[in-house]
């Protein structure tokens, strides 16, 4: 259908040249026309360095204006961007660069030596943002139009089992994600979206797209710092914030007795099922929280609870966005209401596949539908409740035990700050749930066990509690249960 659009940043710089595109604590506000000019210059410098249309260029960077300029610059060249997680190990980095056929790697000045030591310079050329900026510009036909079927980004999924897979996003995927979100949340001329999620994850990256497509400023932070975010909401006009559970919890602690300014529109809560306890807490503090569900493969949110239903359907991720569809499958049949099965989604924001990974594509993509690997159910009105990651499911004595359910209960108990639950091998039951918990000063573990027995079926009560200082989380603060499983092995061996 729609195949080409004017280049988004170009167009926005034409429509609203003097509007703010990017705000950030330590830099002067950047308008759309300045952003366009800098991105175009960057593109011409990259061309001088040899970057051609269609080539794969990796970016390894924390959130920064330079990173955003590089991203838009690469779009002017029609190059494909491989977004690297800055927390990757050397071998993970090497794998992704190789798997994605990256020919260039752009990074910060400080990381450049480390990354140069990592790659074969005959295959991957490493440049810092600063190196690129120092080049002369090569006159070059920059893209004036974007072909929506062209590949824009490749982002690797966390991949808890097996090798990570490179999720391919076309311009059309990112476009459709931004439009579907707009139809859900509306587009308010006052909107300013906080960008604190890493831009190398799709949730953060999608904010850059929304910015140029809506003509909306983003407030950029390098990383998640409760105080900075709190200030951004209280004093910088931020109206929408994307968070995961643990971030929301800490922000609410910060809020104490105050409330957010009237202009504040909402928290978009993603990154896994949230506890009813947390949502109730937000409700009491008059914070509009909209639970969302999405993943790298869906170019960020694909299911969202609409503002009207937020209170009536607390704990639900809502319904599929306007252009998207959703179903829950059980043994190749659509599940009945309230019956748990695997969540499938479909829509123009869903990836067409993993990069050069036919076997993964065949497993996951089925006649336009994406098998998410997540478990959930629909209620009688068709609202989605995400239960857990299928691969995190604990089968104990034939019973399905969902870690998230237990974590939610533990999180609601006084004295427990955070909890992570995984399955531990057991000779009798196959597996049993055990809990890793971060506790406050005083905690009576016997009382905790007693409360668990009151709130949970017997087979769901954790058989062991491991008190830890921190829980493993990814750059978006999502809990990494597979790392807990590794820790468990250590605990048990010791």
Q: Does residue 186 bind a second copy (CB under 8 A)?
A: yes
Nearer to a second copy, 80 or 320 (CB): 320
Site for a second copy in 19-48 (CB under 8 A): 19
Nearer to a second copy, 3 or 489 (CB): 3
**Min separation Cβ 344 and a second copy, Å:** 14
**Min separation Cβ 363 and a second copy, Å:** 23
Give the integer Cα–Cα distance in Å for 61 and 68.
10
**Min separation Cβ 383 and a second copy, Å:** 10
Stretches 34-42, 167-175, 289-297, 419-427: which one binds a second copy (CB under 8 A)? 167-175
Site for a second copy in 293-322 (CB under 8 A): 306-308, 319-320, 322
Pattern 138-157, a second copy, x by CB under 8 A: ----------xx--------
Site for a second copy in 331-350 (CB under 8 A): 348
**Min separation Cβ 186 and a second copy, Å:** 4
Q: Which of 64, 101, 325, 361 binds a second copy (CB under 8 A)?
A: 325
Nearer to a second copy, 42 or 385 (CB): 385
Q: Does residue 219 bind a second copy (CB under 8 A)?
A: no
Site for a second copy in 360-399 (CB under 8 A): 382
Q: Which of 78, 164, 172, 203 binds a second copy (CB under 8 A)?
A: 172
Nearer to a second copy, 133 or 309 (CB): 309
- The sheet with strand 300-304 has its strands ordered as 27-31, 20-24, 218-220, 193-195, 240-244, 266-270, 289-295, 300-304, 319-320
| Cβ 218 vs Cβ 206: under 8 Å | no
Give the integer Cα–Cα distance in Å for 10 and 191.
21
Nearer to a second copy, 215 or 403 (CB): 215
83: which 2 tokens? 């977004």
Q: Is 121 exposed, middle or buried, given 0-12, 13-18 or 19+ CB atoms closer than 10 A? A: exposed
Residue-wise DSSP of 336-369: PTT--EEEEEESTTS-S-BTT-HHHHHHHEETTE
Q: Does residue 176 bind a second copy (CB under 8 A)?
A: yes
What separation in angstroms does the CA of 359 have from each of 218, 223, 328, 362?
A: 38, 35, 23, 5
**Min separation Cβ 327 and a second copy, Å:** 12
Could you tell me which of 409, 422, 399 has the C-alpha nearest to residue 468? 422
Q: Which neighbouring-strand residues pair with 374?
A: 389
Which pairing describes strands 218-220 and 341-346: parallel, antiparallel, or unpaired? unpaired
| Cβ 404 vs Cβ 388: under 8 Å | yes
Could you tell me which of 215, 80, 233, 217 has the C-alpha nearest to residue 147? 80
310: which 2 tokens? 């937020």
**Min separation Cβ 2 and a second copy, Å:** 4
Q: Which neighbouring-strand residues pair with 219?
A: 23, 194
Q: Does residue 214 bind a second copy (CB under 8 A)?
A: yes
**Min separation Cβ 359 and a second copy, Å:** 26
Residues 6+ apart with CB under 8 A from 145: 4, 5, 6, 7
Stretches 47-55, 81-89, 186-194, 230-238: which one binds a second copy (CB under 8 A)? 186-194
Q: Does residue 179 bind a second copy (CB under 8 A)?
A: yes
Number of residues that bind a second copy (CB under 8 A): 39
Stretches 160-168, 211-219, 293-301, 406-414: which one binds a second copy (CB under 8 A)? 211-219
| Cβ 81 vs Cβ 153: under 8 Å | yes
Site for a second copy in 4-23 (CB under 8 A): 5-6, 8, 11-12, 14-16, 19
| Cβ 292 vs Cβ 203: under 8 Å | no
**Min separation Cβ 30 and a second copy, Å:** 18
What value does the CA radius of gyration of the chain take, rounded to a whole number of Å?
Answer: 23
- What does the binding site for a second copy look like in residue numbers (CB under 8 A)? 1-3, 5-6, 8, 11-12, 14-16, 19, 148-149, 170, 172, 175-176, 179, 182-183, 186-189, 213-215, 306-308, 319-320, 322-325, 348, 382
């Amino acid at each position: 259908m729609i195949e080409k659009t004017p280049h988004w940043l170009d167009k926005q710089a034409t429509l609203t040249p003097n509007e703010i595109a990017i705000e950030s604590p330590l830099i002067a506000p950047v308008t759309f026309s300045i952003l366009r000019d800098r991105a175009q210059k960057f593109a011409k410098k990259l061309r001088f360095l040899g970057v051609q249309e269609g080539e794969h260029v990796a970016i390894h960077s924390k959130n920064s204006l330079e990173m955003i300029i590089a991203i838009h610059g690469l779009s002017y060249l029609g190059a494909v961007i491989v977004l690297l997680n800055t927390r990757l190990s050397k071998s993970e980095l090497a794998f992704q660069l190789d798997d994605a056929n990256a020919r260039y790697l752009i990074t910060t000045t400080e990381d450049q030596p480390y990354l140069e030591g990592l790659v074969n310079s005959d295959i991957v050329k490493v440049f810092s943002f600063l190196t690129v900026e120092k080049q002369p510009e090569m006159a070059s036909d920059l893209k004036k139009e974007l072909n929506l079927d062209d590949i824009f980004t490749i982002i690797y999924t966390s991949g808890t089992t097996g090798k990570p897979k490179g999720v391919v996003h076309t311009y059309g995927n990112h476009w459709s994600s931004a439009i579907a979100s707009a139809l859900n949340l509306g587009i308010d001329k006052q909107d300013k979206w906080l960008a604190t999620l890493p831009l190398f994850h799709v949730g953060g990256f999608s904010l850059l797209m929304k910015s140029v497509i809506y003509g909306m400023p983003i407030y950029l932070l390098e990383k998640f710092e409760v105080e900075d975010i709190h200030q951004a909401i209280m004093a910088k006009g931020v109206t929408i914030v994307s968070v995961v559970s643990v971030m929301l919890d800490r922000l609410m602690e910060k809020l104490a007795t105050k409330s957010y300014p009237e202009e504040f529109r909402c928290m978009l809560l993603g990154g896994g099922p949230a506890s009813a306890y947390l949502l109730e807490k937000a409700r009491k503090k008059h914070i509009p929280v909209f639970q969302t569900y999405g993943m790298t493969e869906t170019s960020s949110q694909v299911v969202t609870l609409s503002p009207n239903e937020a209170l009536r359907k607390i704990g639900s991720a809502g319904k599929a966005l306007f252009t998207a569809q959703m179903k829950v499958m059980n043994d190749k049949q659509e599940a009945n209401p309230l019956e748990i099965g695997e969540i499938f989604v479909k829509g123009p924001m869903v990836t067409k596949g993993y990069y050069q990974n036919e076997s993964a594509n065949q497993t996951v993509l089925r006649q336009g539908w994406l098998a998410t690997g997540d478990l959930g159910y629909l209620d009688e009105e068709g609202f989605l409740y995400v239960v857990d990651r299928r691969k995190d499911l604990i089968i104990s004595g034939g019973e399905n035990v969902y870690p998230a359910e237990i974590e939610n209960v533990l999180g609601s108990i006084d004295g427990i700050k955070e909890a992570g639950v995984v399955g531990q091998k057991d000779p009798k039951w196959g597996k049993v749930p055990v809990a890793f918990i971060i506790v406050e000063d005083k905690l009576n573990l016997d009382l905790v066990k007693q409360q668990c027995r009151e709130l949970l079926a017997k087979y769901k009560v954790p058989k062991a509690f491991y008190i830890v200082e921190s829980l493993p989380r990814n750059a978006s603060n999502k809990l990494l249960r597979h790392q807990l499983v590794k820790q468990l092995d250590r605990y048990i061996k010791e």
